[in-house]
Structure 1
Amino acid sequence: MATTETQLLEPKRIRKNKPKIRTAEHPLYDGEAILFRTPPSGNVWQFQMWIKEEQEYLRRSTRSKDLNEAIRVGRDLYLDTHSKLRSSEAVFPKSMREIADKFLEQKQAEVGINKSQGRWVTIRSQVKHLLEFIGEKTKITDIPQNKWELYYQFRRTSHPSVINATLKNETNTIRSFFRFAISRNFISYTKLPEFQSLPKESRKRQAFDVDEWKTIYTFMRSNQWMKNESGKVEEQRFFIRQFALILVNTGVRFGEARRLQWRNIKITQEKSSEENTERVVKISLDAEQTKNNKARIVIGRRGDVFDRLKKYSNYTKPNDFVFVDNDTGEQIVRDSYYKHWNYLVNATNINENRQESTFYCLRHTYATWRLYAHTDVFLLARNMGTSVKYIEDHYGQTKQELMVGHLTKLFDKDEAGQFLFD
């Protein structure tokens, strides 16, 4: 049948769902709650109650067609709901995913106030582990209290190398997550997780010795590192080579170095001896660029590395990143650093006689060699953005006699002394 012009002009009718017909009702507690039946429910009695605090109806099935049994179930539901309201507990349980989104949103808002961007990234990673352990769709009210006894086992099964310090940091974030849920009345305070205590680990900081650093730096100057069929790989490895030099000569953290912008950098020419001068770098880190959210000034050697970077980089305006993708001006992604560093570690077999060889070892190398040179511990701690106690706890065990003897032997040869941090 042809469609007429009149039919085309007529508005389409909107079908409205017919309201469900209640075949029976029974009030509870003077009408504050109600039991009712509808044909679609198979005449099973349903419970309904208006929750003013959350502006939503609570509906539950009594799972019974018998009115007396339905009344008993309905009264229990009413009393349980009022008990939750009195204890400021949410009537409608939230899923772990829903709470995680709200929690991370709040933590993101704290960046630049009392948290650094790096800290937020860590929290996001820790929450990811939490969701994997509990399940994103799991209601927070459904987590059994003994569930937390299995958390360490879960983490070590998926990541066998995880250390106790990392697990302790994760449990602190999980407890913060649950305190957030408590503050939003999603759960009661009794649901706060309790974890087993972990023994403290004495983890020696893995600094590189002279020969190991020589191996790293020599490889970074070789064609095997610098020459590649991909121009992008060569570009990234150039930047990462300079990145390693900055870490080992200034002691800045991995994340702090990645966030460096040209406005943070000032180079001066300083006398290193009566005959020689040296390019010294002064790095002014803003609070949001540091791990502990405290601004600081870092003084270090090898200011000439920044001169080299500035000549190579396409992005050298004050707010441009020092370590960039030369095509986009964006930061070099973290995965690229680790990919190329792991290539170096495997190619040099440097891990053969070591527990670990990471970017962070360069910071430890800086601290160790500054102590060899008798740098004041207070000044060293301030330069590294840590405490004197941390320096003494992690680096103070080395025998002074060994350090002095090794240092003297090293600096008897100018060429070797220069090579250490060249």
Structure 2
Amino acid sequence: MLSVFISNRLRASKHQAGMIGFLSKSSTLGVMLGVAVLIVALSVINGFEQQLKTRLLSVVPHVAYQAPYDPISNWPDKVRLLEAQQGIVAAAPEISLTAMVQFRGELKAAQVKGVDFLSHHKVSDVGQFITDTSLSEMTDNDIILGRHIATELGLKRGDKVTLLVANSQAASPLAALKRLNFVLADVINMGGPIDRSLALVSVKRLQQAMGLSDDEVTGLRAKVEDVFSAHQVAMAAGRALPDLVYVNSWFRTQGSLYQDIQMVRTIVYLVVFLIIAVASFNIVSSMVMEVKEKQADIAILKTMGTRDSTIFATFAIQGVSYALIGALVGLFVGILLALNISDLFRAWIELDGDNPLQGVYFIEFLPSQLDWLDVISVLSITLVISVLSCLYPAWQAVKVDPARVLGG
């Protein structure tokens, strides 16, 4: 208690209004900004990782098996075979091809997927991003397009569109395209590149267009229990299939995105903690100057019988208090910004009119997920750095010689 009392008196003294006060306030401000920036940055990174798992990976195939030459026959049995493999939750048939969507003379390229509307929900959560129609209500004449495709073509629900598909049965590569007529049932609104490319139709229509029988498809997709073990599960389950297939997982299509998120997390940790470390070690400068300023006071305290441990604790507490104030204020500001950064970003876009995330990332908004473990770790590491930075000036205060200071 004596150390705390002396520390408070030293902080309130007139000398704190000079250079020492400026250095201590600037170091406190540096810690505050570093902590706030780190919490906001980590929350945004957590938000991107969460959106990757719950949004993008809920729609793109976890595991895909694509036939390179001959189609996969008797797909219902192959689906049951995959679902019996360890680590796989569900499987479904799929036909993937690139086609052109035509409406009133306008054309737009699309990645068309022929799916079984009754079972597709088992392997994909795309239905969550379709607002007005259920997949189970879709007919063979319906099509679902990405929002941007529909917007750029000027489509509305109920409009008739034409799908131009390559004629794979023709002997000549210059054969005329097949024209498949559909009715726009709904749009996919994910807020990312999938809105610009994906089209869903009935697998039966593509089977007919490609001359396949009802039990033949060009691919199978599976949903796995643990998305981070998808590649291992894909390889193990693929060995059970008797067909020649290419094995693919989301690690090959989206893995670089996940690795980029983790790399950015590491860089943010390193850079911002270096900022906090620099701000914390600025405390050393202000504390060393303060020890020199207070040598006479320290000498008097020693002659009065104050223990070295009390002197050490006094200056250590004073240095830590600078960082603690900055860390707590930074935590408050960082948490407040992290909880509202998505709304602030949306408001900024409305004012500026330009979205820097549009067409670049898999989402077009700024996500944020506050993790309290990050808050605790940031506060803990900041305090550790602060304590370490205060040891040297506190030790210098203990080494003050009363006889030399007062005698001179």
- Looking at both structures, which has the greater relative contact order when contacts are Cα pairs under 8 Å and sequence separation is at least 6? 2
How high is the TM-score relative to the length of structure 2?
Answer: 0.21
Please identify which structure carries the higher helix content.
Answer: 2
Please identify which structure carries the higher strand content.
Answer: 2
How high is the TM-score relative to the length of structure 1?
Answer: 0.20
